[in-house]
Amino acid sequence: MEFVLPLVTLAAVQLLAVISPGQSFVVVSKLALSSGRAPALFTAAGLGAGTLVWASAAIVGLAVVLTTVSWLYALLKIAGGAYLLYLAVMIWRHADQPVETAGKFTANMPPVRAFWLGVFTQLANPKVAVFFGSIFFALLPVGAPAWVYLAAIALVVANEIVWYGLVAIAFSVERSRNAYLKARIWIDRIMAGALGALGLRLMLDGSFDKTG
């Protein structure tokens, strides 16, 4: 049970960040509008595959640090909290800016092409790597067994696929798309507040670990 709370927290933090509209959101929503639900769902699966690559790389980096320079762990925990706080500020500041869903992809995009669009969209975004490195260092406990790391990867990949799958479905229907866009400013600000509070707590925890 000692590893359940960190995994749940990790999944919640990553889901909050995923829900906030970014490059991946724009790609999936535009594709749903122009090509329909099915290609957008394949793109969501591709985003999950790209997430698998970045998350696995972050886990390997965490393992290397813990086995070679473990004293860096507290500093990296502080850095992870600081990044979450920075992310919260950015989300809050841009919450009232419109999401650009204009413009279209080729109609009836083939499934394979849609999948690789998702993969390359994710791999081309270095912020994803920074984010995973931050939350893994900040939230995963030292000395966790291998299954915890595998579960962390599975959770973030599932979050990515499920959320963008929902976006693909919702944005193929005008009514649900308009409802989301109207509520987006409040959704973003709630998420920003939660991420900011967690970031501050992690920075404090890291500071106590360092001094202790």
Q: Which two structure tokens, joined as six digits, stand for 173?
A: 């229907």
Higher pLDDT, 203 or 21: 203
Q: Which two structure tokens, joined as six digits, stand for 94?
A: 């841009």
Of 67-71, 81-85, 174-178, 182-186, where does mean pLDDT reach its minimum?
A: 67-71
In contact, 15 and 191? CB cutoff 8 Å: no
Query: How much of the chain, in percent, has pLDDT values that exceed 90?
Result: 23
Rounded Cα distance, 200 and 117, in Å = 35
Higher pLDDT, 63 or 37: 37
Rounded Cα distance, 161 and 159, in Å = 6
Ranges of each domain in the chain: 25-97+110-211
Residue 70: pLDDT band with limits 50, 70, 90: low
Q: What is the largest CA-CA distance in the chain?
A: 59
Rounded Cα distance, 33 and 37, in Å = 8
Rounded Cα distance, 8 and 47, in Å = 21
Q: Which two structure tokens, joined as six digits, stand for 36?
A: 């329909």
C-alpha pair distances (Å), 141 with each of 46, 63, 75? 29, 11, 14
* Residue pLDDT, tens place only, 128-178: 877 887 788 778 877 788 899 999 999 999 999 999 999 999 887 777 777
Residue 44: pLDDT band with limits 50, 70, 90: very high
* Residue pLDDT, tens place only, 83-132: 788 878 888 887 777 666 555 556 678 889 999 999 999 998 877 877 88
Which stretch, 10-19, 37-46, 119-128, 167-176, has highest mean pLDDT?
37-46
Q: Virtual CA dihedral for 83, 88, 90, 96, nearest 10 degrees?
A: 170
pTM of the complete model beyond 0.85: no
Looking at residue 45, what is its pLDDT?
Answer: 96
Looking at residue 195, what is its pLDDT?
Answer: 78
Q: Which two structure tokens, joined as six digits, stand for 76?
A: 């990296």
Looking at residue 71, what is its pLDDT?
Answer: 64
Looking at residue 208, what is its pLDDT?
Answer: 60
Residue with tokens 């990296």: 76
